[in-house]
Chain A
Amino acid sequence: MTDIFGLLKGKPEDPDYKKKGVIVQGITGAYGSLHAHNMIAYGTNVVAGVTPGKGGQKFEDSVPIYNTMQEAVNATNAKISIVFVPAKFFLAAAKEALEAGIKLLVAIPEHVPIRDTMEALDLANKKGAVIIGPNTPGIMIPELIKIGIMPAMPFKAGNVAVLSKSGTLLYEISDALTNSGFGQSITIGIGGDPINGTRLIDAFEMVKDIPTLEGLVIVGEIGGDSEEMLAQKIIDSGFKKPAVAYIAGRAAPKEKRMGHAGAIVMGTYGSAESKVSMFNKANIPVAKRPAEVPVLLAGKIEKSD
């Protein structure tokens, strides 16, 4: 099982406790540089960037750029990377990172072919590494570390874990939680693709034993059956903390891809009804609108007190 807090935060005795190094792959691209800048501004310890052919230069006069991941890892000993390369180059970038010893790879690109994701995942499994994404907004511990493209504004440190397939809904719902006094211990973007490096059940494993956890928020959407699997897992594991879900796509037509590659109902596979009924079975209320999430969570917390 992945010790995600060990990776993102470390232990008090670590020399890099609360300042774990992050390498940005594709740091000189428009998207990569914008978000490298924003991550640094948030306090993330960006220790290196990688862009082939630009080795020796510096990003914003401070972050060294290397030609390869191996060089960047050798120089920094970082275990985390975030990938901003175009989708068709994702597999090569991921392989390079995993071969160089990266243990947590955050895959931002949208439109990565499924087969490439599966191959990258295969290698990650062999190397004992974790992939978040692709097509994810990223992962963050609010007020400590942000590895992703999410705006800083909606998030606040606290004790609710938020797992989400969608990016903007993660911001929207975290914003609503924050405004209701529920800060977040961690937020994990699963991604909107059919195949996720970290599935909802894997993300649940990462957060379920946080000692200070007060609540769990699951933001799902139509497509696949990872919400159903998670609901079953919550039933089987006897998880007793207050949990609330939201499912987007109830009104979407069948057999149509709704923006995300993974958001498609095929026959009955992936339907909102199936997900809602499994959450009901797990005694997890499903909000009708994003704004209802904190209200339901407050209700659950009150009951559990």
Chain B
Amino acid sequence: MQLLEFQAKELFREYGINLLESISSTNIEEGRKHAKQLGYPFVIKIQVPVGGRGKAGGIQKCQNDDEFELKYPQVMDLTIKGEKARAILLEKMADIKKELYLSLFLNRSKRCYTIIASAEGGVEIESVKNQIIKEVGLGDVSDEVAKEVAKEMGLQGKTADGFIDTLKKLSKLTIEKEAELAEINPLAIMQDDTVMALDGKFVTDDNSNFRHPELQKYQEKTEIEEQAEKSGFSLVELDGDIAVVGNGAGLVMSTLDMLSDNGGKPACFLDVGGGATTESVYEALTLISKIKRVKGILVNLYGGIVKTTVVAEAFLKAYEDNLIDLPVFARLKGTESDKAKKMLEGSRTKIYSSVEEAINAAVMGKKK
């Protein structure tokens, strides 16, 4: 899961990484209390799970009550890259000498953790210059390696000590919480040469969630996504109007691509897993019936051993139970497909022999 800045900072604080004083809130009443506690000046920071907040106006300086009353609601109402504010963080203003970049990141192709550090931080990672890159196996950073990185960055004295300390703590945090990415950007050198994390990005391995009940509170899922997970499906909500269902992540992605190529807009990505049964397809239709914007359902099932008649039963049952009144455009690869086609004659489900035909039909024939 991907943590918001204030959540990442909660973990940073727990692990002793230096931070400015900050408090998060979800409404202006709470925010006012925090403003008093914190005292002006401070920065109002939108909490969204995407980058580019500053450019979008999601980070605002605030000097007094009047500015607070104006800017807090403004920032709260922003939508950045389609993401609405989850919370607002008020953070003390910093007197910065220099901005560094530091991250520990799972390098998938090298199959090890990698330190990326630079003395020129504060910009997005793609633009960070003079990157120092060190591979560190399962993520454990020794004193030696930490010192080496600090030296290569040209840090000295108190700043070097602060950097080494932060890197070691970030390494411990990454290992213990099983992160795929732990990023501090910028890591600031303050006027007194101490080092502080001004921002934080933290992405954990979802497959290790069962070992981390303490992180459960950071899990953010829509109600439908949560229900899908309970059924053993994976579902991603999208903003179009044709629901895309299939078995296997690759096949559903591929169907999504082809639908988009043909001018369709997917409403969701729903992978029911390797097999397909009457129950699993019925359950998938139940989930889709809860997404209001859906105007048609595109089904792409590749079942080597799946009987398509079994899947056809699920569609028939869904209409019988008034679960859906939407047209279904299905491509079912498997056995007994002639029989399945017969079963569905006269229903609102049409079976096609190729996915291309099913997609064209879905784009043309969705509910108006």
Q: Chain B residues near A256: list those with CB within 8 A.
A: 236
Interface residues of A in 127-153 (CB under 8 A from B): 149-153
Q: Contact mask B89-121 → A, CB, 8 Å, 1/0?
A: 000000000000000001011011000000000
27 A-B pairs whose Cβ atoms sit less than 8 Å apart in the complex: A88-B210, A113-B205, A113-B208, A114-B180, A115-B138, A118-B111, A121-B111, A152-B304, A153-B304, A154-B304, A165-B250, A172-B302, A192-B250, A194-B180, A195-B106, A226-B109, A246-B254, A248-B250, A249-B253, A250-B260, A251-B257, A251-B259, A255-B49, A257-B236, A263-B249, A289-B355, A291-B355
CB distance from B184 to the nearest CB of A (A): 16
Interface size of A in residues (CB-CB distance below 8 Å): 65
Q: Chain B residues near A87: list those with CB within 8 A.
A: 207
- Assess whether A206 is interfacial by the CB under 8 Å rule: no
Task: Report the separation of the CA atoms of residues A149 and B106 in the bound assembly, to the nearest whole angstrom.
Answer: 29
Task: Report the separation of the CA atoms of residues A249 and B253 in the bound assembly, to the nearest whole angstrom.
Answer: 5
Q: Chain A residues near B256: list those with CB within 8 A.
A: 249, 251-252
Give the 7 A-B residue pairs with the shortest CB-CB distance, closest first.
Answer: A151-B304, A166-B250, A259-B249, A168-B248, A169-B250, A251-B260, A113-B208
Q: Contact mask B205-244 → A, CB, 8 Å, 1/0?
A: 1111011000000000000000000000010101000000
B-to-A contact residues, CB < 8 Å: 2, 49-51, 106, 108-109, 111-112, 124-126, 138, 178, 180-181, 203, 205-208, 210-211, 234, 236, 238, 246-254, 256-261, 266, 269, 271, 274, 302-305, 333, 354-356
- Assess whether A275 is interfacial by the CB under 8 Å rule: no
- The listed residue (B51, B208, B248, B356) touching A169 by CB distance below 8 A is B248
Q: Chain A residues near B211: list those with CB within 8 A.
A: 113
CB distance from A188 to the nearest CB of B (A): 14
Task: Report the separation of the CA atoms of residues A252 and B259 in the bound assembly, to the nearest whole angstrom.
Answer: 11
Closest residue on chain A to residue B1 by CB atoms: A257
Q: Chain A residues near B354: list those with CB within 8 A.
A: 291
- Assess whether A204 is interfacial by the CB under 8 Å rule: no
Judge whether B269 and A288 touch: CB under 8 Å.
no
Judge whether A253 and B210 touch: CB under 8 Å.
no
Q: Chain A residues near B266: list those with CB within 8 A.
A: 251
Closest residue on chain A to residue B305 by CB atoms: A151
Task: Report the separation of the CA atoms of residues A167 and B333 in the bound assembly, to the nearest whole angstrom.
Answer: 15
Task: Report the separation of the CA atoms of residues A178 and B256 in the bound assembly, to the nearest whole angstrom.
Answer: 24
- The listed residue (A121, A260, A267, A289) touching B126 by CB distance below 8 A is A267
- Assess whether A225 is interfacial by the CB under 8 Å rule: yes
Main secondary structure, interface of A, reads loop
Judge whether A258 and B269 touch: CB under 8 Å.
yes
Q: Contact mask A273-298 → B, CB, 8 Å, 1/0?
A: 00000000000000011110000000
Assuming A172-B333, A193-B207, A226-B108, what are 9 further A-B pairs, CB within 8 angstroms?
A150-B304, A168-B274, A192-B249, A219-B250, A221-B249, A225-B108, A251-B256, A259-B271, A289-B257
Main secondary structure, interface of B, reads mixed
Closest residue on chain B to residue A219 by CB atoms: B250
CB distance from A286 to the nearest CB of B (A): 12
Closest residue on chain B to residue A164 by CB atoms: B250
A-to-B contact residues, CB < 8 Å: 87-88, 111-115, 118-119, 121-122, 149-154, 164-172, 175, 192-196, 199, 201, 219, 221-226, 229, 246, 248-253, 255-263, 266-268, 288-291
CB distance from A38 to the nearest CB of B (A): 8
Closest residue on chain B to residue A38 by CB atoms: B305
Judge whether B253 and A259 touch: CB under 8 Å.
yes
Task: Report the separation of the CA atoms of residues A54 and B335 in the bound assembly, to the nearest whole angstrom.
Answer: 35
Judge whether A199 and B205 touch: CB under 8 Å.
no
Task: Report the separation of the CA atoms of residues A175 and B274 in the bound assembly, to the nearest whole angstrom.
Answer: 17
Q: Chain A residues near B178: list those with CB within 8 A.
A: 113-115
Which residue, of B178, B234, B248, B305, has the highest number of chain A Cβ atoms within 10 A? B248
Judge whether B254 and A169 touch: CB under 8 Å.
yes
Judge whether B207 and A112 touch: CB under 8 Å.
yes
Which residue, of A153, A154, A196, has the highest number of chain B Cβ atoms within 10 A? A153
Q: Chain B residues near A169: list those with CB within 8 A.
A: 248, 250-251, 254
Task: Report the separation of the CA atoms of residues A251 and B306 in the bound assembly, to the nearest whole angstrom.
Answer: 28
Task: Report the separation of the CA atoms of residues A279 and B191 in the bound assembly, to the nearest whole angstrom.
Answer: 49
CB distance from B178 to the nearest CB of A (A): 5
Q: Chain B residues near A167: list those with CB within 8 A.
A: 248, 250, 274
Judge whether A114 and B305 touch: CB under 8 Å.
no
